Amino acid sequence: MSDPAATKRLYIKTYGCQMNVYDSERMADVLAPLGYGVTEDPAAADLVVLNTCHIREKATEKVYSELGQLKLMKQARAGEGAEMTIAVAGCVAQAEGEEIMRRQPAVDLVVGPQSYHQLPELIARAHRARGERLAADFAADEKFDALPTERRPTGVTAFLTVQEGCDKFCTFCVVPYTRGAEWSRPAEAIEAEARALAEKGVREVTLLGQNVNAYAAPDDEKGGGLAALVRRLARIDGLDRIRYTTSHPRDMDEALIAAHGEVEELMPYLHLPVQSGSDKVLKAMNRAHTAESYLRLIDKIRAARPDIAISGDFIVGFPGERDADFEATLQLIREVGYASAFSFKYSRRPGTPAAAMQGQIAEAVKDERLARLQALLEEQQAAFNLSQEGRVLPVLFEKAGRHPGQLIGRSPYLQAVHATAPDRLLGQIVPVRVDSAARNSLAGVLELETA
């Protein structure tokens, strides 16, 4: 256990998106005053929290198989006269809490993404009477008010949730159901959290939201959007880099585009999922943009910030996707030129409109399309990395590298960069000359040894 004051052991396993990573950290913060210190060993844990993801079927199934393992560990601990409380949190808890309790009786409690600030109380109740379960609600504002203001960042980069929920209702997606309606935190609270992080040595924050660019400050009469928030945070001493994720093309407003050209702290990297390059499929997905409008948007963003690295998400095999639709996706990818991307086979999610659509695509076809799509995206990523060879990039060193004497950090474009560098450069932004590029990382040498 890292915290000497801890008397009980907490094991948290996180699935899914960065918001779950943030939530897991905050759950540890909520539980620390009760004496829980984080352990990496589930078998030795007094409390296990699975922070789950419902986005695709595989993600959900993983939770049930993990719970099967945990049940055995719980029994083993019981044999030694020790207890293990098992809590399931996150989006699967929200979507199918009752099913979890039914399928796996070893689970003591289930808590949705907007209710984890109540964990201490729930755990106490579960210890009194097994089977206690929280009715999941969407009172996100209450959650943030109830969380401890204190965070214990473990590095020089940190996530900061600014917005939650989604009103877009893409027909394939569970997020509007698991995370509720779009809701933004007050700018003042976000600034306070960012300042506290900067005081603890954090140099880079990534602002998080399921639709982060739909951010609208509730405490700003002018309805300050994400651009205003970015400008506000950029003024904080010590906070040198700002990123944000994930954005919807529909909410990419002029102010935010302009900020990319003007705010030095805003990193030249944008994750802007398009999902498909076929207008027919985009319409069936309820994406509210076309391939053309997405391409024009990218043009505008590149006019503001020519070197910006674009990243995206893609789904292949959405119901009704014909070969020609898939080809249109490949064509869009060729036109954009992605620096990185995430791509998935369409997964049928219970309760979503697309699950009931005609024209579900055979798994073999999805496999074939995904392989072709990924080959193209990997080619583009390799080309983007190669284009950095010989350039000098400012790298924020975050941690020790795999080899002694080596540090690893990130370029402004979010590429991993490793270089031989002394430990004292950890947490510093240092010019590094890139001398070789691989698909997933860059290798470089310090441009000038700083004294």
Find, among 37, 104, 93, 109, the residue nearest to 69 by Cα. Answer: 104
Residue 173 among known ligand-binding residues: yes
Q: Based on CB atoms, which residue is closest to ligand SAH, 45 or 175?
A: 175
Cα–Cα distance for residue pair 124/132, rounded to 1 Å: 10
Q: Is 113 in the site for ligand SF4 (CB under 6 A)?
A: no
Q: Based on CB atoms, which residue is closest to ligand F3S, 90 or 412?
A: 90
For 169: left if phi > 0, alpha if psi spans -120 to 50, otherwise beta; the answer is left
Is residue 364 within a helix (H) or strand (E), and if so which, with residue range?
helix 363-386
Q: Is 354 in the site for ligand SF4 (CB under 6 A)?
A: no
Cα–Cα distance for residue pair 374/156, rounded to 1 Å: 32
- Residue 176's binding partner among ligand F3S, ligand SAH, ligand SF4, none (Cβ under 5 to 8 angstroms by kind) is ligand SF4
User: What SS3 class is residue 161?
Assistant: strand
Residue 170 among known ligand-binding residues: yes
Task: Name the site residues for ligand F3S (rule: CB under 6 A).
Answer: 16-17, 19-20, 53-55, 90-91, 174-175, 178-179, 210
Among 175, 274, 308, 429, binds ligand SF4 (CB under 6 A): 175
Cα–Cα distance for residue pair 187/55, rounded to 1 Å: 29
Cα–Cα distance for residue pair 335/349, rounded to 1 Å: 31
CB 113 → ligand F3S: shortest distance, Å?
7
Cα–Cα distance for residue pair 445/299, rounded to 1 Å: 33
Residue 53 among known ligand-binding residues: yes
Q: Based on CB atoms, which residue is closest to ligand SAH, 120 or 351?
A: 351
Write each residue from 241 to 280 as x if it is in contact with ligand SF4 (CB under 6 A), else as -, in one continuous string: -------x--------------------------------
Structure tokens at 18: 């960065």
For the CA atoms of 376, 381, 386, 390, what is the dihedral angle to 10 degrees? 160
Q: Is 169 in the site for ligand SF4 (CB under 6 A)?
A: yes
- Residue 346's binding partner among ligand SF4, ligand F3S, ligand SAH, none (Cβ under 5 to 8 angstroms by kind) is ligand SAH
- Residue 388's binding partner among ligand SF4, ligand SAH, ligand F3S, none (Cβ under 5 to 8 angstroms by kind) is none
Please list the helix, strand and coil fractions of the chain in percent, rounded to the nearest 5, in that order.
Answer: 40, 20, 35
- Residue 16's binding partner among ligand SF4, ligand SAH, ligand F3S, none (Cβ under 5 to 8 angstroms by kind) is ligand F3S
- The conformation of residue 3, written as its DSSP 8-state character, comes to -
Bridge-based pairing of strands 204-208 and 183-184 is: unpaired
The footprint of ligand SF4 (CB under 6 A) covers: 166, 168-170, 173, 175-176, 210-211, 248
Binding site feature residues for [4Fe-4S] cluster: 17, 53, 91, 166, 170, 173
